[in-house]
Homo-oligomer: A and B are copies of this chain.
Amino acid sequence: MSSTSTTPPSTTPLSSTPRSSLGRLAERGRTDRADLYDVLDAGIVCHLGIVLDGAPVVLPTGYGRVDDTLYLHGSTGASTLRGAATGLPVCVTVTHVDGVVYARSVFHFSMNYRSAVVHGTARLVSDEDERMAGLEALVEQLAPGSWSHARLPDRKELAATSVLALDLAEASVKVRNGPPGDDDSDIANTAYWAGVLPVRTVFGDAEPAPDLIPGTPATPDHVRTRPPR
């Protein structure tokens, strides 16, 4: 199966601990930090894993990145964040599905995708400047251009918000792209079509809030012309 890199190498490799080293299909692995940034920066949602009472819990949530730190946030009352904030290990995974791979054989059906898996221990951010920088990164990841187009949080809102930081020290990146990888005997058989159906995430037309009052600006450019991820 094809899996060619699309980003130029940078100078800082990703770490390679046992759990961040790929076992199966290691040829799909990326070891460059720039690939990690690319996958993270293209996402809207991550899946945060923590362990509660010995069992895994996986929840979707927003995130933001500043250099080699990933920020998460939530209500001070959220149990998952409370768990992560007490120094428990976490896993944050971001996945983009890029295509459905139709093979001639059921066995070789697959997905084209890019995924990043980050392992670590989250740190509850207490420094007010870092908290604001983390929240800005979160808002800009979800809605680029919005931090300067919205009312910033007041003291009460800040008090209700936990910000967690996760170092991007231990991570793995995996990419599959290209056509199906059927066996030669199946390729020689004309019975079945094979190929890739691309999957894309696109934005529709902006829907202004029904309670906008007269005098509010029209849909701003950073929303109206937001490029697809």
Mark A residues whose CB is within 8 Å of B.
19, 23-24, 44-45, 47-60, 62, 75, 77-79, 89-93, 95, 97, 99-100, 102-107, 109, 111, 113, 115, 117, 119, 135, 139, 142-143, 146-147, 149-153, 157, 161, 179-180, 182, 186-220, 223, 226
Pairwise interchain contact A219-B193, C-beta atoms closer than 8 A: yes
Q: Is the CB of B200 within 8 A of A201?
A: yes
Please state if B56 and A209 are interface contacts (CB–CB under 8 Å).
no
14 extra interface residue pairs, beta carbon distance < 8 Å, beyond A54-B89, A106-B153: A19-B53, A45-B113, A49-B56, A49-B57, A56-B56, A60-B93, A62-B111, A106-B139, A111-B142, A143-B197, A182-B209, A187-B211, A190-B213, A192-B216
CB <8 Å contact, A109 and B195: no
Name the distance in Å between A82's Cβ and chain B's nearest Cβ: 10
* A38 CB to nearest chain B CB (Å): 16
A142/B106 in contact, CB under 8 A: no
A33 to chain B, nearest CB (A): 20
- Bound Cα distance A144, B91 (Å): 31
Closest B-chain residue to A207, C-beta based?
B196
Which residues of chain B come closer than 8 Å to A57, judged between CB atoms?
19, 49, 56, 91, 117, 119
B23–A77 touching, CB < 8 Å? yes
